[in-house]
Homo-oligomer: A and B are copies of this chain.
């Protein structure tokens, strides 16, 4: 049985303001919760249907987590999904970390004002696929703890570190051997460009691209050539990011 106050608290976490106050966000779905359980994240509470509880007896026996059984109807009331699954958890924000450039691997992504939650979540998932562990976001990028971002990561939020930071300071602080790439439609053809590592790759806002302020700080501009002169004006941001990550990853 879930109390009115619990429902109110869970609903408040749909808003960034209350997520920040409580330093907690909502995650849903069996696979995502399983991933979170084995991750660095702290889970405050898990609401599971009888079906989910049944299949997680060992977890319950371990008494490591606060787990509440809820009916399907109760889950519907607290879920952010159109089709709620079987489990929902309140998860604490991870402690911010400040990785050294040496520990970041050979590719990092920088996001300049990305706005669409689905795109952001998908980019996190893509980064995870290609073994990219750090994504740095301008402070006006969409909130990673927005439920739509979390769900679109399909669990990759557990493995990719997301940092909100001053992108100018970040770029200035990267050692000389890092190449700072920006993806721009008029950039050098990525298929033929000689890609250098370690690489910091900036992806711009969905409609406005990379701001001029940041463009002036980049070392190189790269783009994905279109196969048609009369086709789409641009690619979806997460698809463009996917193609860019693919090209860098395979030549690493």
Comparing A13-21, A70-78, A224-232, the segment that makes contact with chain B is A224-232
**Contact indicator A131/B226 (Cβ below 8 Å):** yes
CB-CB under 8 A from A234, the residues of chain B are: 129, 154
Binary per-residue interface labels of chain A (155-173) against chain B in the complex, 1 for a CB within 8 Å, 0 otherwise: 1100100000000000000
A242 at the interface (CB under 8 A from B): yes
State A129–B238 Cα separation when bound (angstroms): 14
1/0 contact trace for A186-203 toward B, CB 8 Å?
000001000000000000
At the interface, yes or no: A236 with Cβ under 8 Å from chain B?
Answer: yes
Count residues of A near B (Cβ-Cβ below 8 Å).
Answer: 38
In Å, the complex CA distance between A126 and B247 comes to: 16
Are B122 and A232 in contact, CB atoms less than 8 angstroms apart?
no
**Considering the chains assembled together, what is the distance between the CA atoms of A235 and B156 in angstroms?**
11
Closest 4 CB pairs of A and B: A131-B228, A131-B227, A239-B242, A130-B227
28 A-B pairs with CB atoms under 8 Å apart are A122-B238, A122-B239, A125-B232, A125-B235, A126-B236, A128-B228, A128-B231, A128-B232, A129-B224, A129-B226, A129-B232, A130-B226, A130-B227, A130-B228, A130-B231, A131-B226, A154-B233, A154-B236, A155-B232, A155-B233, A156-B232, A159-B231, A224-B246, A225-B250, A227-B249, A239-B242, A242-B243, A246-B247
